[in-house]
Amino acid sequence: GENVEQHPSTLSVQEGDSAVIKCTYSDSASNYFPWYKQELGKGPQLIIDIRSNVGEKKDQRIAVTLNKTAKHFSLHITETQPEDSAVYFCAASKGGGSYIPTFGRGTSLIVHP
Amino acid sequence: DTAVSQTPKYLVTQMGNDKSIKCEQNLGHDTMYWYKQDSKKFLKIMFSYNNKELIINETVPNRFSPKSPDKAHLNLHINSLELGDSAVYFCASSQDLRDQPQHFGDGTRLSIL
């Protein structure tokens, strides 16, 4: 089955810095890669996603890049703010009739004011 | 209006008891899921239902029994609770079985004494 590795497990940055979280996946048939943000006491919430026919996608301060050849994708957050502090999860799936998303183990992002 | 709502938010009970967690989504989605998140934040899918039919049943003990009375509801009943069942359980929904973002509830924290 699919295996998703996520790094780093913890990331500490100063407010205003950029943050990058990286994920690799094992199944070359995977074609959908969402990123979720989980705040304390809440469920994960989608922040951005990318499909295999796209190499990069941006939404204001966040962006995701995908390299299908290398089987890795990354989340980039620019101009970090304290409210960006949360746990971030990447996921990969290949759709079809038995859509089973595989999640990475999460990255705890801490943004120091 | 909460899109995916779970009750209760907290559940504290003794080993050996039977308990249920309820989930409802008002998004009109066809597909619903149950996830277990352990103390290290690892998210693991347990079940998936599409239009009230079981699609995915990962290697979960048969003490866990999901029930979907209609496509807006997916409840989780757990028999003979064990210490290892302590975790946060998340319900989620997506539009259908294709690659779609998932909408999560805020979780039910289950603590076994």
Handedness of CA B47, B104, A37, A53 (dihedral sign): positive
Q: What is the rounded CA–CA span in Å between residue A36 and residue A55?
A: 19
B84 DSSP assignment: G
| Non-local CB neighbours of A81 within 8 Å, separated by 6+ positions | A15, A111
Shortest distance, CA B45 to any CA of chain A (angstroms) = 8
Cis peptide before B101 (omega within 30 of 0): no
The pLDDT score that the predictor gives to residue B1 is 64
Asked if residues B39 and B101 have their Cβ atoms less than 8 Å apart, the reply is no
Whether the per-residue pLDDT at A96 is higher than 80: the answer is: no
Shortest distance, CA B46 to any CA of chain A (angstroms) = 10
Beta bridge partners of A49: A34
The pLDDT score that the predictor gives to residue B19 is 97
Residue A99 has its nearest CB partner, among B43, B98, B107, at B98
User: Are B42 and A96 a contacting pair at CB < 8 A?
Assistant: no
Whether the per-residue pLDDT at A97 is higher than 60: the answer is: no
User: pLDDT category, B24, cuts 50, 70, 90?
Assistant: very high
The pLDDT score that the predictor gives to residue A85 is 98
Q: What is the pLDDT of residues B32-70, one digit of tens each?
A: 999 999 998 999 999 999 888 888 777 789 999 999 999
How many Cβ contacts (< 8 angstroms) between chains A and B?
64
Degrees to nearest 5, angle at CA A87 with A70 and B23: 105
Whether the per-residue pLDDT at B93 is higher than 70: the answer is: yes
Contacts of B104 in chain A (CB under 8 A): 36, 43-45
The pLDDT score that the predictor gives to residue B55 is 84
Rounded mean pLDDT, A18-32: 95
Contacts of B51 in chain A (CB under 8 A): none
User: Are A43 and B31 a contacting pair at CB < 8 A?
Assistant: no
By C-alpha distance, which of A96, A77, A98 is closest to A88?
Answer: A77
Q: Which residue has the tokens 């064990």?
A: B82
The larger pLDDT score, comparing residue B95 to residue B108, is at B108
User: pLDDT category, A99, cuts 50, 70, 90?
Assistant: low
User: Are A43 and B105 a contacting pair at CB < 8 A?
Assistant: yes
Q: Does B95 touch chain A (CB under 8 A)?
A: no
User: Are A96 and B103 a contacting pair at CB < 8 A?
Assistant: no
Cis peptide before A82 (omega within 30 of 0): no
Q: What is the rounded CA–CA span in Å between residue B77 and residue A74?
A: 37
Q: What is the rounded CA–CA span in Å between residue A103 and residue B37?
A: 11
Q: What is the pLDDT of residues B70-91, one digit of tens each?
A: 999 999 999 999 999 999 999 9
Name the token pair of A65. 């890049």
Shortest distance, CA A81 to any CA of chain B (angstroms) = 23
Name the token pair of B59. 């290697």
User: Are B31 and A87 a contacting pair at CB < 8 A?
Assistant: no
Q: How many CB atoms lie within 10 A of CB A23?
A: 26
Q: What is the pLDDT of residues A64-78, one digit of tens each?
A: 999 999 999 999 999
The pLDDT score that the predictor gives to residue B3 is 93
Q: What is the rounded CA–CA span in Å between residue A81 and residue A39?
A: 14
Looking at every residue in chain A, the average pLDDT score rounds to 93
